[in-house]
Structure 1
Amino acid sequence: MLANFAHEMKPHLSHRRSADRLLWLVAGLPMAILALLLLALLWAAPAHAAGETVCAGRNLLPDLQREKPDRYAAMLAESEATPNGKSRFWKIEKPGLAPSWLLGTMHVTDTRVLTLSDAARKASSEADVIVIESDEILDEKKAAAALMMQPELTMFTDGTTISDRLTPEEKLKLEAGLKERGIPLAAVNRMKPWIIASVVSMPACEMARKATGASFLDKKLAEDAKAAGKRVAGLETLAEQISAMADLPLDFHLKALIETLSLNDEMDDIIETMTELYLSGDIGMTMPMLEAVTPETSGEQDSGYAAFEKRIVLDRNKVMAERSAALLADGNAFIAVGALHLPGEEGLVELLRKQGFSVSAVD
């Protein structure tokens, strides 16, 4: 999932748990890719639970505060130490230019997320250009066709399947998780594990809404801009986004898939908690929360996490900042990217400041 909901933990926090792989995947992977692949590549007609559009997840923070106060306090402290973690909407200024704007998004169709603040709504309606992660999401069928020209990014092309890489018990868990979403294992058996992990981590309600054509926030902003005759620009291609995931070791993705399956219905609660943090503007609390609410494990390799952080988060932050420069040079641009790309010392807010812009929180 999700998300694409981009944003990085501090480098000195070297000890990680296995669930971090899964949760970084959920937080960082652009949901646009998932919708594209699922709708364009899997389903001629959606087969999963029709009409299931109300999510049942609950906010985990009250229980955490009550039952594990020390962990909750550590989460708050880490959040407070995260640079630029207190807002999802920012104003970008430089002398001689009309102000531009930066909105952190969640790549979901939740109506609460789709409802912009008054300031963000005004800025987007008056902007000359709307900038999103990839403008290719405006034509999913065309983008899917282009991706099919590079099948090695999303599929096993050596004649093997995901089932060949799982134990019998893991395969049964995967079949059950997919069945809940109306997807037979055979439909995805040749897909790479990170795609399948994203499928089973996404709440069924979100899958149902997307299958009926509901737009997630980034896509809705682009669609509204196009309908108004505005220019829409993208900072990355979908192939670049998928290549970033495909560059990571297969073992890393297989472990993330198994960990996703082990969480079962807990993912709904995690996504709801992330959503409420997003709505309150506490973006910097997202990763500390994910660490606090997931079970601890041992014997994990920090190298896999570090590779994920660099390739999926930090590298993409730099690309987004560099490609934003030309769009910001004209002023009055409205940039909307996954909210988790914004905080941190190497987040988009700081990178834009290094380009000479003044970037200040709006709400």
Structure 2
Amino acid sequence: MKPFKRAYPTTRKGQWIAAMRNTLSMILALGLALLFSSATTQAQTPSDHACTGKNLLPELQQRDPQAYAKVAAEAAKTPNGQAIFWKIEKPGLKPSYLLGTMHVTDPRVLTMPDGAQTAANAAATIIVESDEVLDDKKAAIALMAKPELSMFTDGSTITSHLTPEQVKTLEAGLKKRGLALAAVNRMKPWIIASFVALPACELARKAEGVSFLDKRIAQDAAKAGKRVMGLETYAEQLAALNDLPMAFHLKSLIETLQLGDRMNDVNETMIDLYLKGDIGAIVPMLEAVSPEPSSTKDPDYAAFEQRIVLDRNKIMAARAAPTLNQGNVFMAVGALHLPGKAGLVALLRQQGFTVTAMP
């Protein structure tokens, strides 16, 4: 008996922000993104190496100065949103450091801010989101023990949850990336999203064996004989995604595909903001360049932010605290976890640390 086909209609309203949640989680919040995207690397070709995106903000500034000014104002109001590299201090301890990362292999991102590489080299302990990043095969085996986090185990498939039109959109989007629908049909939408939310150039570098920033930091530390500590497991990260409604994930996946090459521009804009340390501008930028009215006050976005960012901020801060209280630590986690009143910088200050942006 075929599973009942449930339709989750997509509309243009809020399309941009819904799709951007996929990109935000893949690039700035979840370190497991490239573990799954590696499944696509056999389909990529060397020609995919060229990144084609453009920064959307100069165009916005020229076209709509008022909207551009609003982005700048919102960014300025974001607590701890103007830096990606921070010094962590407490009396009697050697200083530690916190780096907000992007989970990408872009050469510009791999070149860390001034002083960060020196701090990492000098640290006794390296903290990353998950130490499973050191062994992709071992991590994949561990996830296979919990197939319900990444696969439909109830007899349904991704296509049985979509309308015929949405299936066509999915199939065309996968084909563009060299993937067959049959190969991913039993995968849950957040796994498929890891294939389509990242630019082709990112996947091509992955195919060549280039490590994304967090992974490279962990690998360098392991080679140097340092202790590498993970704050989460990949299973915990997938469980966080699994907690969000299926309809939310399906809508975000389809809308990401519908945006097509526009995603490259968004990725490029986020990288430019990251390199400037202006992470507080990322979400306001997404709202400003959206082709349709949208808002982070959307209940779907609020649920995403709570489960994927805020809840995990608390876990990271609590688990990092004992090691940070030993001093001489270099901590690298997704940049989306740093800013805000409930971001890691604020939470570490609540633990009694002095946390200062590095120039």
Same fold at TM > 0.5: yes
1:237 aligns to what? 233
Which of 69, 74, 80 does residue 70 from structure 2 map onto?
74
2:82 aligns to what? 86
**Contact 2:287-2:295 at 8 Å conserved across structures:** no
Which of 14, 18, 21 does residue 18 from structure 2 map onto?
21
Give 1:97 shift. 0.4
**Contact 2:248-2:300 at 8 Å conserved across structures:** yes
The 1:301/1:347 distance shift into structure 2, 3 A limit, reads closer
Deviations 1:73-120 (A, max 9, x none): 111111110000111000000000000000000000000000112310
Separation (CA, whole Å) in 2 of partners of 1:239 and 1:279: 30
TM-score by length of structure 1 reads 0.91
Deviations 1:124-153 (A, max 9, x none): 000001110000011000110110111110
Secondary structure at 1:118 match in 2: coil
Q: Percent identity?
A: 59
2:249 aligns to what? 253
CA RMSD of aligned residues (A): 1.8
Separation (CA, whole Å) in 1 of partners of 2:43 and 2:269: 28
Deviations 1:1-59 (A, max 9, x none): xxxxxxxxxxxxxxx934323213311235542222233xx46x712223421211011
Separation (CA, whole Å) in 2 of partners of 1:130 and 1:77: 35
Unaligned residue ranges in structure 1 (runs of 5+): 1-15
1:289 aligns to what? 285
1:323 aligns to what? 319
Letter in 2 for 1:28: S
The 1:352/1:298 distance shift into structure 2, 3 A limit, reads closer
**Contact 1:49-1:182 at 8 Å conserved across structures:** no
Separation (CA, whole Å) in 1 of partners of 2:19 and 2:172: 19
Which of 204, 212, 217 does residue 216 from structure 1 map onto?
212
**Contact 1:48-1:180 at 8 Å conserved across structures:** no
1:227 aligns with 2:223: yes
**Contact 2:152-2:186 at 8 Å conserved across structures:** yes
Secondary structure at 1:28 match in 2: helix
199-208 or 50-59, which moves further after superposition?
Answer: 50-59
Separation (CA, whole Å) in 2 of partners of 1:47 and 1:77: 42
The 1:297/1:254 distance shift into structure 2, 3 A limit, reads farther
Deviations 1:232-277 (A, max 9, x none): 1111111000100011000010110121012100000000000000
Which of 32, 41, 46 does residue 42 from structure 2 map onto?
46
**Contact 1:90-1:360 at 8 Å conserved across structures:** yes
Letter in 1 for 2:84: R
The 1:27/1:80 distance shift into structure 2, 3 A limit, reads same
Secondary structure at 1:170 match in 2: helix
Letter in 2 for 1:169: E
The 1:31/1:318 distance shift into structure 2, 3 A limit, reads closer
1:309 aligns to what? 305
Separation (CA, whole Å) in 2 of partners of 1:132 and 1:21: 27
Separation (CA, whole Å) in 2 of partners of 1:17 and 1:173: 18
Separation (CA, whole Å) in 1 of partners of 2:245 and 2:319: 27
**Contact 2:68-2:288 at 8 Å conserved across structures:** yes
**Contact 1:99-1:332 at 8 Å conserved across structures:** yes
Separation (CA, whole Å) in 2 of partners of 1:336 and 1:146: 23
Letter in 1 for 2:199: P
**Contact 2:80-2:339 at 8 Å conserved across structures:** yes
Aligned residues: 345
TM-score by length of structure 2 reads 0.92
